[in-house]
Amino acid sequence: MRPLRVFTAIDISPDVRSAALRLIERLRAVPVKVTWTRAANLHYTLKFLGDVQAENSVDVCRAVQEAVGPFSPFETVAAGAGAFPSLSHLQTLWLGVGDGVEQMQLLFQAIERLLEPLGFAREHRRFSPHLTLGRVRGGSPAGLQQLGELIRKHADFDAGTMTVRSVTVYSSTLGADGPMYEVLSRAPMQG
């Protein structure tokens, strides 16, 4: 049996999704090759686990439930456009987090702590919560510069406030039309 590609994520509200799609439409106006994230796939990734054997996915879901359970639901603001690794070298275009970033970081740390005994290494990079809008695939230097400037103009973009109540464990299957996500479990906050 093929392993599952697994990640943990915070789902977004319909209002935040609509605002993120408006931002994508604004950025799409620049003539640069970008693989844009489909509306149904917009989320805040907490931890990407990679390949997980199907029989081990139950342990992963249980560990995420244990990590998330003690947290109380919290408000977060989806805000601020940016790019990794930088605005002068665009690869991943994203929507960030304003208020609520500390709670997302604590949630990430709790999930990492409980997944580590299952063999999932801790991240070496600092966790920076973001919603991926698209991945740059190429373009002229002028087009890339124009896109970087447009993102800079949206650095204070406000996509709205939402309440985070759970973390979802997803499996991802790559298809011709991009990845398809399947919910493996939802871990509600019960604190």
Give me the mean pLDDT over the 24-45 stretch.
95
pLDDT confidence of residue 178 = 80
Contacts of 110 (CB under 8 A, 6+ apart): 67, 68, 70, 71
What is the token pair recorded at 166? 């759970």
- Angstrom distance (rounded) from CA 163 to CA 186: 15
Domain ranges of the chain: 4-188
Cβ atoms of residues 167 and 46 within 8 Å: yes
Q: Please state, in angstroms and rounded to a whole number, the distance separating the CA atoms of residues 42 and 138.
A: 22
Mean pLDDT of 158-162: 97
Say whether 21 sits in a helix, a strand or coil.
Answer: helix
Which residues is 9 bridged to in the sheet? Answer: 45, 168
Query: Residue 156 corresponds to which tokens in the numbers above?
Result: 């204070």
Query: What topology is assigned to 4-188 in CATH?
Result: Cyclic Phosphodiesterase; Chain: A, (3.90.1140)
Query: Band of the pLDDT at 2, cuts 50, 70, 90?
Result: confident
Res 120 pLDDT > 80: yes
